[in-house]
Amino acid sequence: MISRRDFLQVSMAASALYGASGFGNWARLGAQQAMTQDKLLDFDTFGNVTLMHITDIHAQMKPIYFREPEVNIGVGSNKGAVPHVTGAEFRKLYGIEDGSPSAYALSHDDFSSLAQSYGRVGGLDRVATVLNSIRADRPDALLLDGGDTWHGSYTCLKTEGQDMVNVMNALKPDAMTFHWEFTLGSDRVAEIVEGLPFAALGQNIFDAEWDEPTDLFPPYQFFERGGVKIAVIGQAFPYMPIANPGWMFPEYSFGIRDERMQEMVDEVRGQGAELVVCLSHNGFDVDKKMAGIVKGIDVILSGHTHDALPEPALVGETIIVASGSNGKFVSRVDLDVRDGRMMGFRHKLIPIFSDVIEPDKEVAALIDEQRAPFASELGEVIGKTDSLLYRRGNFNGSWDDLICDALISEREADIAMSPGVRWGPSILPGQDITREDIYNVTSMTYGKAYRTEMTGEFIHVILEDVADNLFNPDPYYQQGGDMVRIGGMGYRIDVTKKQGERITDMTLLKTGEKIDPSKTYMVAGWASVNEATEGPQIWDVVEDHIRAQGTIKLDPNNSVTVVGV
């Protein structure tokens, strides 16, 4: 008899051989230049349970462009492991042809030209079509939302998340977990969660005062699907009060709490769960580590770090599924659960090519309804760009170069800082920049642009601190963002060193002089977690700058030298 472990591995091998993951099929489609909706959705229904995973939508209801990172460095045991493989190496790893639709969806090279061929991605009306198609195969498929849903656009900011709540409810999720949602403030979060027609889960969401679980966010929910008793355990982003302003949700404490995760897994198994799914906003490397510590999780649906992987990663007997961001992908995972155990899986990362997948009419109308009151503000053209504007990458992206330029010129600063968040769609060369585009990369409930003096020593402390959140070799000490983006200053970073020793050669670009630890510099930035922050909103600063420039043209940014890779 075949052991469970063998079966999983056979299944993985079969994926590679026959394209059971759907991935080999895409590459062939690309070669034939014949993408159709049917081919994108083609899936040989398997087993008795289907999971559908979407995560980190960041309120992108409409199709967008989204360039995946060129630089995504793994450290410690994750050096060279997915998702820390990009570009040509990534394509080689998964057998993706250059220039194919998969290359466009999953890697950064030739992005601007491939975007012209393959068009925009995402759009929740297209996502609805995909979900409906999967539900036609398997009517009781579970839809699980990994969070970062009620944040990231003009309409989401103005309606305090209501637009996304309305549209997501139409997609009928079965459960959700959280991160940026909490930046709406705990009162607003409670107001929405109390009215949700599905489970709001987080085994690691605790009452801060008593350090106990909360009533509003249960740890898990049971589902009966295909005759299988399924437990879905939620895992919210562990470091919310550290990475985001804790004063907006002082009632809550988070943390990884993997010992409680184990207790919950044991508890649901004790209650007869035959399949245990963790709906996680840990980030990929944290999920990998947790999968090695907590025993008994069959599937981790991983969010937060915005990685899109064409095949699940396997840790012990746990599969980890990473489904990208910004509405660009939906993962379908079919499982064969028998005799109380997961015996095998079939998986497909479905790219939402918005020109190929027909929009669902009802959801399209619902999206239009949310946007209609704001149509004139959203569509106003502020300027134009000659350069590709994107954000993802460990050290810089052209969107943040532009934001830092805006901070330096509009706020008369020596040095600018822009947070290393991973959300925000891309804009192609030649495109207009609308107000909506600016909000898509800046909108948040704490967007004020501060201006303050800092010593060179203090700037160094900040860079070291953020670098350790990214390059600490232990994933449990990583927060899942990218490096703070710096304008007006260059530096050298050795990712292999310890905190305090990574950052050297800090240089003020306008003079070429070394940063003096004891000297004071004028620094402008945004997204401070400090409650008393004052200044204009960052989207207004960026809008003023783009208006003044007319057409944006950015030089390549070579101000960060990375070593130890």
Partner 1 sequence: MEFSRRDTLALGLGAAALTVLPFQLSAAATDDAISAFTGGADVGTGGLTLTAPEIAENGNTVPVEVAAPGATSILLLAAGNPTPGVAQFNFGPLAAAQSASTRIRLAGTQDVVAIAKMADGSFVRAAQTVKVTIGGCGG
Contact residue for partner 1 among 520, 530, 551, 561 (CB under 8 A): 530
Query: Per CB under 8 A, which of residues 271..290 are in contact with partner 1?
Result: 283
Distance from C-alpha of 134 to C-alpha of 204, rounded to nearest angstrom: 31
3 state DSSP class of 410: helix
Nearest distance from C-beta of residue 422 to partner 1, angstroms: 4
Residues whose CB is less than 8 angstroms from the CB of residue 494 and which lie 6 or more positions away in sequence, other chains included:
501, 502, 504, 563, 564
255 lies in the site for partner 1, by CB under 8 A:
yes
Strands 142-145 and 175-176: parallel
Nearest distance from C-beta of residue 203 to partner 1, angstroms: 15
Contact residue for partner 1 among 259, 511, 518, 556 (CB under 8 A): 259
Distance from C-alpha of 118 to C-alpha of 192, rounded to nearest angstrom: 37
Nearest distance from C-beta of residue 454 to partner 1, angstroms: 8
Query: Per CB under 8 A, which of residues 291..330 are in contact with partner 1?
Result: 304-306
Distance from C-alpha of 552 to C-alpha of 388, rounded to nearest angstrom: 10
What DSSP designation does 500 have?
T
Query: Per CB under 8 A, which of residues 432..461 are in contact with partner 1?
Result: 446, 450-452, 454, 458, 461
Contact residue for partner 1 among 146, 173, 344, 419 (CB under 8 A): 419
**Contacts with partner 1, 473-512, as mask; x by CB under 8 A:** -x-xx-xxxx-x--------------x-------------
Do 72 and 87 touch, CB atoms closer than 8 A? no
**Residue number with CB closer to partner 1 (371 or 422):** 422
Beta bridge mates, 448: 537
Contact residue for partner 1 among 42, 110, 266, 468 (CB under 8 A): 468
What DSSP designation does 99 have?
T
Nearest distance from C-beta of residue 374 to partner 1, angstroms: 26
Do 350 and 38 touch, CB atoms closer than 8 A? no
Residue tagged 């394509």 (tokens): 91
Determine the interface stretch with partner 1 among 23-31, 139-147, 239-247, 394-402 (rule: CB under 8 A): 239-247
**Residue number with CB closer to partner 1 (25 or 478):** 478
**Residue number with CB closer to partner 1 (437 or 482):** 482
Nearest distance from C-beta of residue 222 to partner 1, angstroms: 27
Residues whose CB is less than 8 angstroms from the CB of residue 317 and which lie 6 or more positions away in sequence, other chains included:
4, 5, 8, 298, 342
* Maximum CA extent, the chain: 72
190 lies in the site for partner 1, by CB under 8 A:
no
Q: End-to-end CA distance of the chain, in Å? A: 44
152 lies in the site for partner 1, by CB under 8 A:
no
3 state DSSP class of 441: helix
256 lies in the site for partner 1, by CB under 8 A:
yes
126 lies in the site for partner 1, by CB under 8 A:
no
Burial class of residue 125 in the structure, from the number of CB atoms within 10 Å of its CB (0-12 exposed, 13-18 middle, 19+ buried): buried
**Residue number with CB closer to partner 1 (354 or 469):** 469
Distance from C-alpha of 458 to C-alpha of 517, rounded to nearest angstrom: 8
3 state DSSP class of 223: strand
**Count of residues binding partner 1 (CB under 8 A)?**
65
Distance from C-alpha of 90 to C-alpha of 311, rounded to nearest angstrom: 12
Nearest distance from C-beta of residue 276 to partner 1, angstroms: 23
- Burial 227-266, CB ≥16 within 10 A → b, else e: ebbbbbbbbbbbbbbebbbbebbeebbbbbbbebbbebbe
Determine the interface stretch with partner 1 among 162-170, 293-301, 335-343, 533-541 (rule: CB under 8 A): 533-541
412 lies in the site for partner 1, by CB under 8 A:
no
Determine the interface stretch with partner 1 among 118-126, 315-323, 488-496, 519-527 (rule: CB under 8 A): 519-527
Q: Using CB under 8 A as the criterion, which residues of the chain lie in contact with partner 1 when the complex forms?
A: 56, 148, 179-180, 208, 211, 237-246, 253-256, 259, 283, 304-306, 417, 419-423, 446, 450-452, 454, 458, 461-463, 465-466, 468-469, 472, 474, 476-477, 479-482, 484, 499, 525-535
